[in-house]
C-alpha cells in the first residue's frame, strides 16, 4: 500500500462513526484500497484505489506533488440514498481541510469536492474527490 493510500485508509478505518455505517471485513470497517474489491465483500463499503491524476508541484528548493483521488462509497440500492449519502458526507468530513499524516511529506492542502452520485444497477454510489498538495520533508 502506498503512503497516500495508507494515510487515507488509516483515517477512514480509524473513525468510529464511519465504522458504524459500514459493514466489516477482516475485523475492520469495510474500506478497500484495491479495485475490484474482494468477491466476498458485503455492502456498504468504501473504495479508494490509486490517484485519478498526479503531477509535479516543485519549487526551487522543494519537491512536491499535487494529486487527486476518488473515494467511492457504495450501499445497496434499496430505494433510499440515505445510507450512502451519510457515508459519503462522513468521508468528506474526515478529509476536507483536515490534517493528514503522510510519512516523509508535509500536506499543504486537502480539499474535497462532491459527493457526486454514481449510477449502477444494484448499488447506490457516491464519489468524494480529494485534491492534495504534498511536499517532501
What pLDDT is attached to residue 14?
96
Query: Mean pLDDT per segment of 10 residues, for the chain of length 137 residues?
Result: 86 97 97 95 94 78 88 94 97 94 85 91 93 88
Are the CB atoms for 29 and 12 separated by under 8 Å? yes
User: Rounded to whole angstroms, what are the CA distances from 56 to 35, 74, 88, 107, 134?
Assistant: 25, 31, 29, 14, 10
> What HEC string does 80-96 produce?
CCHHHHHHHHHHHHHHC
Report the number of distinct structural domains present in the chain: 1
| 18: containing domain | 3-136
The CATH number covering residue 90 comes to 3.30.2000.30
Amino acid at each position: 500500500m502506498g503512503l497516500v493510500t495508507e494515510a487515507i485508509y488509516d483515517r477512514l478505518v480509524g473513525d468510529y462513526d464511519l465504522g458504524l455505517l459500514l459493514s466489516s471485513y477482516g475485523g475492520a470497517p469495510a474500506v478497500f484500497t484495491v479495485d475490484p474489491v474482494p468477491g466476498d465483500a458485503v455492502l456498504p463499503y468504501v473504495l479508494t484505489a490509486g490517484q485519478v491524476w498526479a503531477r509535479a508541484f516543485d519549487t526551487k528548493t522543494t519537491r512536491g506533488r499535487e494529486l487527486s483521488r476518488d473515494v467511492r462509497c457504495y450501499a445497496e440500492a434499496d430505494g433510499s440514498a440515505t445510507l450512502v449519502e451519510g457515508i459519503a458526507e462522513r468521508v468528506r468530513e474526515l478529509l476536507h481541510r483536515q490534517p493528514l499524516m503522510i510519512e516523509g511529506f508535509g500536506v499543504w492542502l486537502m480539499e474535497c469536492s462532491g459527493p457526486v452520485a454514481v449510477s449502477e444497477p444494484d448499488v447506490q454510489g457516491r464519489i468524494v474527490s480529494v485534491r492534495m498538495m504534498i511536499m517532501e520533508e
